[in-house]
Amino acid sequence: MKAMQHDADGAMTWTEVPDPVAAPGEVIVEIAAAAVNRADLMQRAGKYPPPPGESEILGLECSGTIVALGEGVTGWAVGDEVCALLAGGGYAERAAVPTTQLLPVPEGVPLAEAAALPEAVCTVWTAMRDLPAPEPGDLALVHGGSGGIGTMAIQLLRAAGWRVATTASARHHELCRSLGTELVIDYRADDFVEAVQAATEGRGAGAILDVIGADYLGRNLEALALDGTLTVIAVQGGTRAEVDLRRLMQRRVTLRAMTLRARPRTGRGSKAAVIAEVRERIWPGFAAGQLRPVIGATVPLVEADRAHALMGSADAPGGKLLLVR
């Protein structure tokens, strides 16, 4: 088969690689589409290697059709249309996937668009599943609301009963509003702390989902309500910052950080556990039309380099970038 490979300098080529083989409990998926994540750009730059034993090929999620079953596989059949959470391997014609990381393509979602779902949905679900149920009027703040994670977070938080505010560039404000955002803050021009405090009559946000990290830490804590929760899921703005622990104690703040890719395949806190929860708790919302993938652009898989350049540019579209076969 062919796959997109990158060298130590980040140059990518579409080249022949060995066919994947299904181990016990795995299936082979003929890939229809893969989604681009910022982690792919980091791995290509040598800053985010895959977990030990996982594929070196880029790609953390895909959709496609099962074409072969490994030993002991039950509940799935050749011909099933699926999407999958991967630790790597999506930028290819085929991938071997543990069945515990498979999801059926939701009814009403096109096969290619389903590639936009596993990483974003699983990430947001792990960030919000342990939040207390919102009281009437409680507000959640989502940073980067126009991105793949952000567009899904807005929808899932709204479905859970939160009012939602988000930061985004001005050209993506209408997209965020169309997904249910009540307050859209221009992160280049406006102070999100002031905006959140004004929108909550000084109470602050009950929950913040952050993709920036160190650069926003201090202001995020200022924007939180008493007993609020800050969850960091990416560090686009740095990894190190000082925290006044007394301030956290006084405001009874919960500070959490998490990642999805490094989770084990099975066991406590595993990808398998997250997938099972998502299938039960979130997937019905797609079939019912309450949730939808947001696709910003589609690019041929063989032109993955162009998709990466687009994601890293000032012209990056809102929503997910898809690589299609």
Same domain? 132 vs 249: yes
CATH number of the domain bearing residue 243? 3.40.50.720
If asked whether residues 168 and 295 sit together in one domain, one would say no
What's the CATH number where 44 sits? 3.90.180.10
Nearest 5 degrees, angle CA 169-CA 294-CA 54? 100
Q: Which three-class secondary structure string do you get for 1-62?
A: CEEEEECCCCCEEEEECCCCCCCCCEEEEEEEEEEECHHHHHHHCCCCCCCCCCCCCCCCEE
Q: What is the mean pLDDT of the chain?
A: 96
DSSP letter for each residue of 244-289: -HHHHHHHT-EEEE--STTS-SSSTT-HHHHHHHHHHHTHHHHHTT
Sign of CA dihedral 145, 206, 252, 281: negative
* CA separation, residue 304 to residues 108, 128, 311 (Å): 27, 31, 11
Phi-psi region of 127 (alpha: psi -120 to 50; beta: other; left: phi over 0): alpha
In the chain, the amino acid numbered 62 is C
Same domain, 104 and 205: no
- Characterize 275-310 residue by residue with b for buried, 16 or more Cβ atoms within 10 angstroms of its Cβ, and e for exposed: beebeeebbebbeeeebbbbbbbbbebbbbbebbeb
127 and 250 together in one domain: yes
CA-wise closest residue to 300 among 37, 9, 4, 88: 4
Q: Using CA atoms of 207, 83, 35, 113 in order, give the dihedral in degrees to the nearest 10.
A: -90
- Kindly state the average pLDDT of the residues 52-74: 97
Closest residue by Cα to residue 192 from 229, 221, 234, 235:
221
Domain count, the chain: 2
**Alpha-carbon dihedral angle through residues 76, 80, 85, 87, given to the nearest 10 degrees:** 80
Domain shared by 143 and 245, yes or no: yes
Query: So what's the pLDDT on residue 237?
Result: 93
Of 210, 242, 257, the position where a domain reaches its end is: 257
Q: Is residue 228 located within the same domain as residue 293?
A: no
Cα(36)–Cα(308) distance, integer angstroms: 8
**229, 257, 285 - which closes a domain:** 257
Q: Express each pLDDT in 71-112 by its tens digit.
A: 999 999 999 999 999 999 999 999 999 999 999 999 999 999
- Rounded-to-integer distance, Cα 221 and Cα 247, Å: 9
- φ/ψ (deg, to 5) at 99: -60, -25
Same domain for 47 and 153, yes or no, is no
pLDDT, residue 314, reads 84
What's the pLDDT band for 147 if we cut at 50, 70, 90? very high
Please tell me whether residues 113 and 27 are part of one structural domain: yes
Supply the range of the domain harboring residue 281: 2-117+262-324
Q: Are residues 181 and 243 in the same domain?
A: yes
Q: Three-class SS of residue 89?
A: coil
Q: Of 257, 277, 300, which residue constitutes the final position of a domain?
A: 257
pLDDT of 312 > 90? The answer is no
Tens digit of pLDDT for each residue in 292-303?
999 999 999 999
How far is residue 251's CA from residue 227's CA, in Å, rounded to a whole number? 6
